[in-house]
């Protein structure tokens, strides 16, 4: 979720149903509100302050604050949320060096979690947290939180990145139905464009959105085995499967009917701007590809109702492949050098429960990978359906590839994969050349 605070599971459902998850927010102290059904608090952590760092701002931070307040109501702990900015690794490193490490960090990338673990910054999850997670998270989520056999990161929220959101009026006026394949998607987009509105608002200013485009195409076209190998850099980016996926992606990027304003405008459009182009007061595109958090932005910023005047369909399968299920999410970790690491672990024990997830689910803009969260906990039918599809996807979910990479390659603005895919959006004429540049940057970042 790269990410600006919105990204993130990155999702589509069993047999290709759409998932998507809203990246969400952390909080600052304040008077705690009781968690639903929690009753009175124990007060066992009264006088203790737990500092939590994460990328979230705005409404995301406000909603996560409700979760932290629920923890405070149960334990008596005070919580303080500290925005980290998008470069979490630099933020945390500076805090550790200065002797002021936060107790808990919400890590948005698998690669960064691995970096933290290998640097010796993390405390393994407690037996209680691990046992709870083993009971309510699919093994894939536990695997992504594990480094060299040690479980460090608890995935509390997820974002599904395999949803295409659209304005129903635009497709209806063009006489277009929800496409079920990549070829149908291109044909539908061109038909919509011919009726007066370009097909896609592409957020090219935010490089992470372009990695998500590539990953969905690649997972469907090349398959999960090669996806996993490429994510570990066991497969070179010059592999023919990468060139093929870039060639497929170029079918969108090179067509001005499909990209609103062409590449030049797309490269000036950030993620919030891409949502505005579809669901804002002056629509300039019919569709926007990203995770289910698009629905939350359309609702909160433009008064759209997900499922009614802001709908989505699953990212369609490419060629003979299956519909992709690309996901992302944020893992809660406890820093070894934290002043209140024990209280921080108590927070993770709480975050592992369906009770904690239900607080955020009720606030909206959130999906949980926790299978024990009841459907009625979610704020609307669209969230219930996407949550169900996320859980049903189980181990078929593939985590956002760029989030698994070293940050220098997969998570840095103006560098690595983000920049090279922006260059490709600007000029998609030579997929093989782009693949070679990606391999050069990946080899340097992975050290192989």
**Domains 14-160+326-399 and 163-314 equal at CATH topology level:** yes
- 355 has a pLDDT exceeding 50: yes
Q: What is the mean pLDDT of the chain?
A: 89
Over pLDDT 70: what percentage of the chain? Answer: 91
pLDDT tens digits for range 125-174: 999 999 999 999 999 999 999 999 999 999 998 988 899 999 999 999 99
CA atoms within 13 A on the CB side of 388: 12
- CATH number of the domain located at residue range(s) 163-314 in this protein: 3.40.190.10
- pLDDT per residue over 260-279, tens digit each? 999 999 999 999 999 999 99
Q: What pLDDT digit, counting tens, does each position of 366-387 carry? A: 889 999 999 999 988 888 888 8
pLDDT in tens, 219-246: 999 999 999 999 999 999 999 999 999 9
Q: Give the DSSP H or E segment for 408.
A: helix 407-410
Cα 9–Cα 10–Cα 16 angle in degrees, nearest 5:
60
10-64 per-position pLDDT tens digit? 333 333 333 333 333 333 333 334 443 344 577 899 999 999 999 988 777 889 9
Residue linked to tokens 């910054």: 121
Contact 55, 403 (CB under 8 A): no
The count of residues in the chain is 448
Instruction: Kindly state the greatest CA–CA separation across the chain.
Output: 64
**What pLDDT, on the 0 to 100 scale, is given for residue 353?**
97
Contact 348, 152 (CB under 8 A): no
* pTM of the full structure: 0.81
pLDDT in tens, 292-338: 889 888 988 999 998 899 999 999 999 999 999 898 899 999 999 89
pLDDT digits (tens, 9 = 90+) for 113-130: 999 999 999 999 999 999
Are 36 and 186 in contact, with CB atoms under 8 Å apart? no
- 1.10.540.10, 3.40.50.300, 3.90.79.10, 3.40.190.10: CATH of 14-160+326-399: 3.40.190.10
pLDDT at residue number 14: 31
DSSP annotation string for 306-370: BTTTBEEEEPPP-TTSPPP-EEEEEEEEEETT-TTHHHHHHHHHHHTSHHHHHHHHHHSS-B-S-
Spell out a b/e string for 339-358, using b for 16 or more CB atoms within 10 Å of the CB, else e: bbbebbbbbbbbbbbbbbbb
Domain ranges of the chain: 14-160+326-399, 163-314
């Amino acid at each position: 979720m790269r990410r600006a605070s919105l990204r993130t599971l990155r999702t589509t459902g069993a047999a290709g149903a759409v998932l998507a998850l809203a990246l969400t927010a952390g909080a600052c102290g304040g008077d705690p509100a009781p968690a639903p059904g929690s009753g009175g608090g124990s007060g066992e952590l009264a006088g203790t302050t737990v500092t939590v760092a994460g990328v979230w701002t705005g409404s995301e931070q406000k909603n996560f604050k409700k979760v932290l307040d629920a923890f405070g109501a149960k334990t008596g702990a005070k919580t303080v949320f500290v925005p980290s900015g998008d470069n979490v690794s630099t933020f945390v490193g500076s805090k550790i060096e200065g002797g002021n490490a936060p107790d808990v960090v919400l890590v948005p990338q698998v690669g960064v979690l691995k970096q933290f673990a290998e640097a010796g910054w993390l405390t393994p999850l407690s037996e209680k947290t691990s046992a709870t997670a083993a009971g309510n998270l699919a093994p894939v989520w536990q695997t992504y939180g594990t480094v060299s056999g040690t479980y460090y990161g608890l995935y509390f929220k997820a974002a599904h990145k395999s949803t295409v959101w659209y304005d129903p009026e635009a497709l209806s006026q063009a006489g277009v139905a929800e496409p079920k394949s990549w070829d149908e998607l291109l044909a539908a987009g061109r038909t919509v464009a011919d009726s007066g509105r370009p097909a896609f608002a592409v957020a090219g200013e935010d490089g992470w959105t372009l990695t998500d485009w590539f990953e969905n195409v690649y997972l469907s076209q090349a398959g999960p085995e090669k996806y996993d190998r490429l994510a570990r850099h066991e497969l070179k980016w010059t592999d023919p499967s990468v060139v093929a996926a870039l060639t497929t992606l170029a079918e969108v990027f090179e067509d001005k009917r499909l990209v609103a304003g062409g590449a030049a405008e797309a490269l000036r459009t950030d993620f919030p701007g891409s949502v505005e182009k579809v669901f804002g007061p002056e629509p300039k595109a019919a569709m926007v590809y990203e995770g289910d958090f698009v629905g939350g932005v359309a609702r909160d910023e433009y008064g759209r109702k997900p499922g009614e005047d802001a709908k989505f369909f699953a990212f369609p399968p490419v060629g003979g492949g299956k519909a992709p299920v690309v996901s992302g999410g944020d893992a809660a970790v406890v820093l070894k050098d934290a002043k209140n690491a024990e209280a921080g672990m108590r927070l993770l024990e709480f975050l592992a429960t369906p009770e904690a997830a239900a607080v955020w689910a009720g606030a909206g803009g959130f999906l949980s990978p926790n299978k024990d969260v009841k459907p009625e906990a979610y704020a609307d039918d669209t969230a219930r359906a996407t949550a169900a599809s996320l859980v049903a996807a189980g181990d078929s979910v593939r985590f956002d590839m760029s989030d698994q990479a070293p940050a220098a390659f997969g998570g840095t603005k103006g560098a690595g994969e983000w920049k090279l895919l922006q260059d490709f959006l600007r000029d998609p004429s030579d997929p093989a050349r782009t693949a070679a540049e990606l391999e050069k940057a990946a080899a340097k970042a992975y050290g192989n």
